[in-house]
Chain A
Amino acid sequence: MATSSSTPATATQRSLAERFDPKTLAALEGLDFKARYIMEGFLAGLHESPFHGFSVEFSDYRDYQPGDDLRHLDWRLFARTDRLYTKRYLQETNFRFYVVCDTSASMAYRGSQAWGSKLEVARLLAAALTWFLLRQNDAAGMVTLERETEAPEFIRPSQRQTQLGLVLRRLEALRPAGGARLARLLEHTVRLIHRRSVVLFFSDLLEPSESLAQYFKQLRFHGHECLVFQVLDRDELEFPFTDARIFEDLETGQRRIVTPAAARDRYLAGFNRFMTAHQELFRSLEMPHCVVRTDADPWRALALFLAQRKRLK
């Protein structure tokens, strides 16, 4: 399944777009406020609440012990057998989600029309989804790379309320650094996630799809569900430059003298081939893929996520 931001907006989506104001978002200090603002604004626009009750299921009995909650006593059984039993319940098993965020140097790019750099947008989306997941009693964890050494930084999934602060602190500490480090991040993700989980993957994917394909395949092979949020800037999608300039690669430091009028067609052709290759890859692996533009509202990405979660339920 693949969606694209270029599909026509529905009336609901237009309403949601009015809610999203980058200036208001910028005025909110702290990632937790921004995450809540984004997610609550999004949920308020939906007709059907995505939250579902926390149900419990009866498991068995055990002998009453002094100090046990009297509400869980089975009075009927007491009437029948004249003995006190306490009911035990089996808690509903929720999902384990992992936020995997790419911090390659290319994620630092911010176009003139964008409301944030690619990493900032990915960070905000990840924070909003984490907030939502923890409210749903799902377990949320995280995998990133350490800035200097590229060692993995792993947060074990948990349902505790303190988990939100832990993830948000790590998200706020993310800084773009180094060259292409996406393949290494995927390699660590495959190695660190053992139990069946849902992986929310945030990246610009500006690396050859062949080098990434093996790791995505391994993730699927291990039974993980993957949602890929590809964060791209308008400049990368449309190449709107006009003046001749020296372009310098954020990851490799290479330089080229580019005359946009002459290079635009070649660039767009190459970029579309690149996108098509990725879409083919994700379609073959049955991985939902969503392009998030840094100059647009994030509702599409959130809607994709909710749809997938409902499907997993």
Chain B
Amino acid sequence: MAFSFLNPWLWMGALALAAPVWLHLRRRVETNRLLFSTLRFLDDSPRPRSSPLRLQDVLLLLLRALALLLLVGAFAWPYLQEASRLVIRESRVYILDNTLSQQAANRFTQDRERLVTELTRAGEDIQIAVVELTDQPRALVALSDSREDARRRVRAIQPSFRRGAYLAAFRMAQSLLANSLGERKRIVFLGDSQANQWKENLTTPPFLEQVEVELSRPGASNAPNLALSEAQWQRIFLGDKALLQLGVNLACSSPASNATVSVRSGQETIVTRSVPLAGQPGIVALQAQWEAAPGRWLQGEVTVAGEPDALAADNRVYFTVPPVREGKVALLAQSPYLRLALSPEVMRGRWAARVLDPTRLDGEADAARQAEVLVLESSYLQSTEVRTLVERYLNNQRGVFLVVNRLGLAAGAALRDLGFEVGRPGQAKPEQPERIEYFVSNHPIFRPFLSADYGKLLDITIAQPQRIKPLEGMALLFSSSGEGLFFQGTRFPGRLFVLGFGLDRGQSSWPSHVSFIPFLDLCLQNARPGETTPLDYEPGSTALVTPPPDAAVKEVVLRDGQRELRRSPVVHGKAQVRLPDQPGIYAMSYDNAPEPERFISVNPNPKESELTYLEAPEALKLWKLERQGRAADQVALGSPARISRAAMLEQRIWWWLLVAGMAGLLGEMIWTQLRPQHP
């Protein structure tokens, strides 16, 4: 191991050497001294010399002098032997980008080989460290590691599917260089310089001080790519049919005219279709729909193929869909349509409705009896107990579906408390029925209605819409006059949906429309509390799994098919499961149970598919800390009159002289103890 300040044994040795010095200083008490009350009657006695030297102490004096001579020589050595010293000319940190985007055009392999070559070529006067850039950068090779170890570790790196953290990697490189010995400090970035990575860090204050940065050039400003991402699914019930609707985003930065998209669920290929790309925007939303059994897990993948495509690793997206779980609905409504729609005959297996008695709402305070979603009409908001119940649902992160069939003063005040403003009572209502004209098509509730299978929402008429304006929320459905008809509130932790008209034939034609049951079902699905544990993760991330408290689970087991990957202990009711680096579908089970408890999908971050590069990123200029007088410092460092601290610390003989000096002091202390004491 090299003899330098970075060696921890050196510091421990230095501490050990300090011990005899401390003991020596501590033992410097005069054994021949007597503390007496007063010397006023002994004034004529001679005064002692402060450091008496006697003939018999010559050997001691010589030993001390030798020790001091060695110490002085140790400190002077760097100046005396400057010509023969080994100078660390440069300290260099390579940042090897190992993110998904680096797999484009085989760039990662090329950069890895370049790094191995440079490790071989670099002389002894260059210190080299390597930082692997992933979402959690790590120092793969330290400055003090041998070159052989460094080459072996670099060759062992395999391409990953992770997102990167440029800022963290540069900070780590800066900290390594701050403790380095080289007069020149350099960071060499072996990466693709993704534009979105640099733009994420434009507001970071400067931190790169006296460091040169070299970027490897990507060769082009962007690369053609086809990528799939953000698989979103929804279970929809249409009559007796249980459907699964799946949506994915196809990102296209390729000049390809067609792409072939294939959807597989389990072992079955659902659909394979050629998608024309000419004239399409950069991101195309694709949807597929098929019948799927509601009572079991679904696992599948969507793939895309097309040419040219620089990055093939992002052409696949995995998804998992849990079985349908029957939800609980509390109902406070007089509308016969609403009651019928939530009856067991219609919603069996999906929603179990319980009609509340408005005169006995005290029992609803019991949390165990609370349903997941409360459906009520605004006429009940006149009751204080009902208003309290609504707030309790929303504050407990449960859902509320409010149908504003009547708008009195109390209901108006309650709506204001919920984040909505109501029109003045005297405000004129439209004489003619209004139609639904617009809806937010990318909202999960209305996305299925892009398909005509569920009926046309634009055919629905509203006779008496209430004038409601969201103060804290947003409108999702609009009439032909531009008034909002359906809203989502955002004031509370729970989800609140407000329908701006009653569900009676006199107020709206929607209850008799074919889209009413799917709409109500989708509203309730979106209003219910979400899953506490997500089903989709990024490679290498950590999932926080909360097993049911009554199951007494000790370990969460992660499996890839039948192969067990790892076991994570459950501590305080939670388990931290580190997910694999490879995308795919994985199963989680509890303890030694044979059946999986849940399936999760691991998909790469879609930002890694944006193959747009920057040659001179603005962020890098902002990170550099420029100081006045830096050039003058560099001149002074290079001049023979001044030797850098790094060069001084690097002197090997310097340390041996120090050790000898300390040993001399130790010997002096022993000699002092062994020699005869004077009277």
Q: Residues on A close to B: CB < 8 A?
A: 106, 108-109, 118, 204, 206, 233, 235-236, 241, 243-252, 254-259, 263, 266-267, 270-271, 274
B32–A263 touching, CB < 8 Å: no
Complex A-B: 20 CB contacts under 8 Å:
A106-B37, A106-B38, A108-B35, A109-B35, A236-B38, A241-B34, A247-B34, A248-B33, A248-B35, A249-B36, A249-B37, A250-B37, A250-B38, A254-B39, A256-B39, A257-B46, A259-B45, A263-B45, A270-B41, A274-B40
Among residues 645 to 679 in chain B, which have CB atoms less than 8 Å away from a CB atom of chain A? 679
Contact partner, A257, options B36, B41, B48, Cβ 8 Å: B48
Given contacts A233-B37, A251-B38, contact A246 B44 (CB under 8 A): no
Residues in B whose Cβ lies below 8 Å from that of A255: 33, 47-48
A270–B35 touching, CB < 8 Å: no
Among residues 50 to 97 in chain B, which have CB atoms less than 8 Å away from a CB atom of chain A? none
Is B30 positioned at the interface, with any CB of A under 8 Å from its CB? yes
Render B9-34 as a binary contact track against A, CB cut-off 8 A, 1 for contact. 00000000000000000000010111
Residues in A whose Cβ lies below 8 Å from that of B32: 245-246
Q: Residues on B close to A: CB < 8 A?
A: 30, 32-48, 679
Residues in A whose Cβ lies below 8 Å from that of B37: 106, 109, 118, 204, 206, 233, 236, 249-251
B45–A257 touching, CB < 8 Å: yes
Residues in B whose Cβ lies below 8 Å from that of A106: 37-38
Given contacts A206-B37, A256-B46, A257-B46, 18 further A-B contacts (CB under 8 A): A206-B38, A244-B679, A247-B36, A248-B33, A248-B34, A248-B35, A248-B39, A250-B35, A250-B36, A251-B37, A251-B38, A256-B39, A256-B45, A256-B47, A257-B45, A263-B42, A266-B41, A271-B41
Q: A241 → chain B, closest Cβ, in Å?
A: 8
Q: B43 → chain A, closest Cβ, in Å?
A: 8
Q: A254 → chain B, closest Cβ, in Å?
A: 5
Cα–Cα distance between A108 and B38 once the two chains are bound (Å): 11
Cα–Cα distance between A217 and B227 once the two chains are bound (Å): 108
Residues in B whose Cβ lies below 8 Å from that of A270: 40-41
Cα–Cα distance between A274 and B38 once the two chains are bound (Å): 12
B41–A246 touching, CB < 8 Å: no
A248–B36 touching, CB < 8 Å: yes
Residues in A whose Cβ lies below 8 Å from that of B44: 266
Given contacts A243-B679, A244-B679, contact A249 B39 (CB under 8 A): yes
B47–A247 touching, CB < 8 Å: no
Cα–Cα distance between A106 and B41 once the two chains are bound (Å): 14
A247–B40 touching, CB < 8 Å: no
Residues in A whose Cβ lies below 8 Å from that of B42: 247, 256, 258, 263, 266-267
B33–A246 touching, CB < 8 Å: yes
Cα–Cα distance between A235 and B35 once the two chains are bound (Å): 12
The closest CB in chain B to the CB of A233 belongs to B37
Residues in A whose Cβ lies below 8 Å from that of B46: 256-257
Residues in A whose Cβ lies below 8 Å from that of B679: 243-244
* A-B interface, 5 closest residue pairs, ranked by CB to CB distance from nearest: A270-B41, A256-B45, A106-B37, A109-B37, A249-B39
Cα–Cα distance between A108 and B37 once the two chains are bound (Å): 8
A267–B41 touching, CB < 8 Å: yes
